[in-house]
Amino acid sequence: MQYGISILLSGISLGGQYALIAIGYTMVYGILRLINFAHGDVFMAAGLIMVYLSASLPIGVALPLMILLTVLLGYVIERAAYKPLRSAPRMSVMISAIGVSYLLQNLATYITGGLPQMYPSLPGLSSQITIAGTSTKMVTVITPFLVVALVVVLTQLINHTKIGMAMRAASRDFETAQLMGIKINNIISFTFVIGSFLAAVGSALYFTNYPSIVPLSGSLPGLRAFVAAVFGGIGSIPGAVVGAFLIGLSETVIKSSNWSVFSDAFTFALLIIILVVKPTGLFGEKSTDKV
């Protein structure tokens, strides 16, 4: 019983952390129709930024500064690597995204020498708590509630603010939104800022549980979060969240069994089944061709 509760808590927590990354993927795709392959590496960079900041600053200062620098990193990536290619073919933008991903990984390797860096212990998140006789970290309990709160705030921002209306307009029809006077470049930059903010928060939660960081630490979480976004229906924020929780739960259950080596295979097999049955994902909308 205690073992089952531990698996359930860990799966929900992991799914919540994937959800914060997946939202970044799905928001960028919703407006630009671009898969930002560098997003997982922004998540990794946020972890390394926190490692180095915490070495010389108090945690209370290092944490908000890490989030600010990660947001700045996302903004710079969009302005430097994606904005100049706004009118280029999508393949060119995709190659640019892959290039940014490798640039961040290589830069992290240069800075760290490829050696694992230990994430600092965050007061509150790293403390132990007992639930139904099961001992777990506080971050495991906090994560799902924090994710839900952030999703509610994000949903309110998108549905009830002027910039949110502009984001919805751009996601519906990019060209028409431009003709209507919407400043598309600002909307896209704001989307990257939100995605980077969520990735920074997700990194603090994730690396509290998995404190060893290497330059490739963003690859697998980023890939699983991307699968979650596609699973739920890429372009849909609720879909990304639901998909992430399902991926996190299934991964944790399988890794706790004798079939742990097949955890990633099962994730992609599940994705294939969903896409065969419902190609747009669980919450994706069927696209219509304009004539």
For 9-34, what is each residue's pLDDT tens digit?
Answer: 888 889 999 999 999 889 888 877 78
**Which pLDDT does position 287 carry in this prediction?**
54
The DSSP element (H or E) to which 128 belongs, if any, is: strand 128-131
pLDDT over 90 (residue 127): no
Measured CA angle at 66 (ends 61, 71), to 5 deg? 135
Give domain status of residue 2, yes or no: no
Q: Residue 191 carries which side chain, given as an amino acid letter?
A: T
Residue matched to tokens 């892959």: 98
Higher pLDDT: 22 or 262? It is: 22
Instruction: For residue 218, count other CB atoms closer than 10 A to its CB.
Output: 30
What end-to-end distance do the CA atoms of the chain give, in Å?
A: 58
Q: Is the pLDDT of residue 48 over 50?
A: yes
Q: Does the pLDDT at position 290 exceed 80?
A: no
Instruction: Quote the pLDDT of residue 33.
Output: 77
Residue 291: inside a domain: no
67, part of any domain? yes
Give the helix ranges, DSSP H, for 113-218.
138-160, 162-172, 174-179, 184-209
Separation CA 188–CA 194 (nearest Å): 10
Within a domain: residue 59?
yes
Asked if residue 36 lies in contact with residue 94, where contact means CB atoms within 8 angstroms, the answer is no
In-domain check, residue 282 = no
Q: Which of 35-49, 53-67, 134-148, 277-291 has the lowest mean pLDDT?
A: 277-291
When pLDDT is averaged across residues 137-141 and rounded to a whole number, the result is 87
Which range (12-26, 72-86, 221-235, 258-272) has the least confidence? Answer: 258-272
pLDDT for residue 145: 93
- Look up the domain containing 23 and give its range: 9-277
Average confidence score pLDDT of the chain: 87
Element (H, E) at 129: strand 128-131
Residue 210 lies in a domain: yes
Please enumerate in sequence order all residues whose Cβ is within 8 A of that of 152, keeping only pairs 6 or more positions apart, or say none: none
Query: Is 287 part of any domain?
Result: no
Provide the Cα torsion 190, 191, 195, 196; round to 10°. -30
Q: Which two tokens stand for residue 124?
A: 């509150």
Joined together, the tokens standing for residue 192 give: 């990257």
What's the pLDDT at 3?
60
Q: How far is CA 279 from CA 26, 37, 133, in A?
A: 16, 21, 42
The residue count for the chain: 291
The share of the chain scoring above pLDDT 70, in percent, equals: 96
The number of distinct structural domains making up the chain is: 1
Assess if residue 162 is contained within a domain.
Answer: yes
The CATH number given to whatever domain includes residue 203 is 1.10.3470
**The two structure tokens encoding residue 193:** 């800022």
Contacts of residue 96, Cβ cutoff 8 Å, sequence gap at least 6: 81, 82, 85
